[in-house]
Amino acid sequence: MKMAFSGLLALMLAVGWTPPPSVPQGVQVYFSPHGGATDAVVSALDHATNSVLVQAYSLTSAPIAKALVEAHRRGVQVHVILDASQRTEKYSEADFLQNSEIPTLIDAQHTIAHNKIIIVDDYLVLTGSFNFTKAAEEKNAENLLVISDPSLAKRYLGNWHAHEVHSQAYNREQKSETKRTKKILM
């Protein structure tokens, strides 16, 4: 019996048969640095047709911010929740998003709002350790999962909306005021 199996396996390999991939269909994984995670995020945003919800600790990636704006200009409903640190970050894209009329909220309810989630069209979830930053793509060891699963997306949507409830609208004045207050306190 073992001999027959070995022969069959040898024949299958000889004709170019390869075993199915170990990653289930509907899931893609990316690693950084230089593993294509930013391109995967931009591609998902470029293919969005109805909605994009973002929850991010940090958003400083110009290509991702531009893809969010392009999706918004195509009529996709884009909403963003960022960590409170983005009020004072020098390179945050929060101003760019707000100036592009994308509703941007700040989640200051938690010590750190450390989520890194994008939900596209209520079925696609992008998550992992990958921050939506240039450093995450070019310097850090990070991972990104792109998961096509409407029932999982529904759970992430519920979590996103729970954070939306306690978040506050981002505005530039808060950023300037916070910087001024820090200078006065120093």
CATH topology of domain 21-171: Endonuclease; Chain A (3.30.870)
pLDDT band at 82 (very low <50, low <70, confident <90, very high): very high
The pTM assigned to this predicted structure is 0.78
Catalytic (active-site) positions: 114, 116, 121
Contact predicate 130/143, CB 8 Å: yes
Per domain, the residue ranges of the chain are 21-171
User: CB atoms < 10 A from the CB of 58, how many?
Assistant: 20
User: What is the Cα–Cα distance from 85 to 108, expressed in whole angstroms?
Assistant: 9
Supply the DSSP string of 9-34, one letter for each residue. Answer: HHHHHHTT--PPPSSPTTEEEEEESS
Backbone φ and ψ for 30, nearest 5 degrees, come out as: -135, 145
Tens digits of residue pLDDT in 15-48:
665 554 434 458 999 999 999 999 999 999 999 9
Tens digits of residue pLDDT in 115-155:
999 999 999 999 999 999 999 999 999 999 999 999 899 99
pLDDT at residue number 140: 94
